[in-house]
């Protein structure tokens, strides 16, 4: 349909529950959204400036080429890249199996583009989860990538700054409560890495990954220490060394992210091996989305 007609001629039908105030009964119905009435916001975040016309042209091209199924989805998940997209179906199985009964479209959009879909998804009434990276950088060292635990670290992720009104300090972002991540009148949840406390070497230590791959290793360190999974480096027994080795390895140019994801998917636990766990920041977002599109409609609505 998108190939055959102009974007503005699309009509989107969404199922809703209609309340009859006179009788107190509820009836199934539909509302119709005309894409002719849709207009995105201009974006101005840091050095990124996108006009209304540019934003609309991007959406038209993206949806026509790759994701016209968005119009038929119960919900959408916007992810950074190939690793997230590869691992997400298994993560849903492990953390939010109820989503398997819904049609979920997964959009691979990177960290700089997810905010471009916000107004369209909200216009259509499609709940969505954004899973993105904190991408910590040192503002005093030419914005060079740094560990998320470094003092004064800020995020370079334009979407995070957009969704959190310009907040950039990693320490401020990691201190936000789960409720702060629920936005746009319960239509959006934004997930990114936060500081976690895990037992390592017989004591509890704090770790904070800047990417999915990094935090995955921290939260599944037992599998990497035993050799069941590997990042191509020996895993130190000391927690501080472990943090440094993982951070340096994940950000190196020789680390193959897609191969890492495939190895994780191929891992089959045996009697001595546990299965891997879903990073907490991803699991929290998936559980929110599971509840949001569950069998009980939220705010009297159900997407079509």
Question: What integer is the mean pLDDT of 226-230?
Answer: 93
**What is the per-residue pLDDT for 2?**
59
Can you name the residues that pair with 189 across neighbouring β-strands?
Answer: 129, 182
Predicted confidence (pLDDT) per residue in 98-145, tens digit: 999 999 999 988 777 888 889 999 998 999 999 999 999 999 999 999
**What is the per-residue pLDDT for 268?**
82
Q: Is 301 within 8 Å of 125 (Cβ atoms)?
A: yes
Whether 90 shows a pLDDT value over 50: the answer reads: yes
pTM for the predicted model, two decimal places: 0.84
Predicted confidence (pLDDT) per residue in 48-77, tens digit: 788 888 888 888 777 766 666 788 889 999
Q: Is 35 within 8 Å of 8 (Cβ atoms)?
A: yes
Q: What is the DSSP letter of 298?
A: B
**What is the per-residue pLDDT for 303?**
42
Under the banding of pLDDT at 50, 70 and 90, the label for residue 4 is low
**What is the per-residue pLDDT for 67?**
60
Whether 295 shows a pLDDT value over 70: the answer reads: no
**What is the per-residue pLDDT for 269?**
77
Per cent of the chain over pLDDT 70 is 92
Whether 298 shows a pLDDT value over 50: the answer reads: no
CA distance 120 to 113: 13
Q: What is the mean pLDDT of the chain?
A: 88
Per cent of the chain over pLDDT 90 is 62
Predicted confidence (pLDDT) per residue in 262-284, tens digit: 999 998 877 666 789 999 999 99
**What is the per-residue pLDDT for 301?**
43
Cβ neighbours for 43, distance < 8 A, ≥ 6 positions apart = 49, 50, 55, 115, 116, 162
Whether 234 shows a pLDDT value over 70: the answer reads: yes
Listed as own residue / partner, the contacts of 54-59 with beta carbons closer than 8 Å and 24 or more positions apart are 55/116, 58/113, 58/116, 59/116, 59/117, 59/120
User: Per mean pLDDT, which range of 43-52, 82-91, 198-207 is the poorest?
Assistant: 43-52
**What is the per-residue pLDDT for 20?**
77
**What is the per-residue pLDDT for 23?**
82
Cβ neighbours, 10 Å, residue 13: 11
Whether 192 shows a pLDDT value over 70: the answer reads: yes
- Going 217 to 220 to 226 to 229, the CA torsion angle's sign is negative
Question: What integer is the mean pLDDT of 165-177?
Answer: 93
């Amino acid at each position: 349909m998108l190939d055959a007609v102009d974007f503005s001629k699309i009509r989107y039908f969404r199922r809703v529950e209609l309340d009859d105030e006179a009788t107190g009964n509820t009836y199934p119905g539909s509302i119709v959204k005309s894409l002719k009435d849709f207009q995105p916001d201009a974006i101005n975040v840091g050095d990124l400036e996108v006009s209304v016309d540019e934003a609309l042209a991007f959406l038209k091209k993206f949806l026509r080429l790759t994701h016209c199924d968005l119009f038929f989805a119960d919900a959408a998940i916007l992810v950074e890249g190939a690793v997230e997209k590869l691992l997400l179906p298994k993560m849903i199985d492990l953390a939010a199996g109820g989503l398997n009964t819904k049609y979920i479209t997964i959009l691979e959009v990177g960290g700089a583009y997810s905010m471009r879909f916000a107004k369209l998804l909200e216009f259509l009434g499609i709940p969505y989860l954004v899973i993105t990276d904190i991408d910590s950088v040192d503002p005093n060292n030419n914005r060079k990538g740094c560990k998320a635990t470094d003092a004064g670290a800020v995020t370079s992720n334009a979407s995070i700054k957009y969704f959190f009104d310009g907040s950039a300090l990693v320490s401020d972002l990691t201190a936000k409560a789960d409720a702060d991540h629920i936005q746009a009148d319960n239509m959006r949840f934004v997930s990114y890495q936060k500081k976690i406390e895990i037992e390592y070497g017989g004591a509890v230590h704090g770790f904070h990954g800047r990417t999915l791959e990094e935090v995955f290793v921290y939260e599944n360190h037992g599998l990497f220490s035993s050799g069941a999974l590997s990042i191509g480096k020996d895993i130190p027994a000391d927690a501080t060394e472990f943090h440094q080795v993982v951070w340096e390895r994940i950000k190196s140019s020789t680390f193959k992210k897609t191969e890492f994801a495939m190895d994780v998917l191929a891992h089959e636990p045996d009697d001595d091996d546990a299965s891997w766990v879903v990073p907490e920041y991803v699991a929290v977002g998936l559980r929110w989305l599971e509840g949001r599109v569950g069998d009980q409609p939220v705010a009297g609505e159900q997407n079509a």
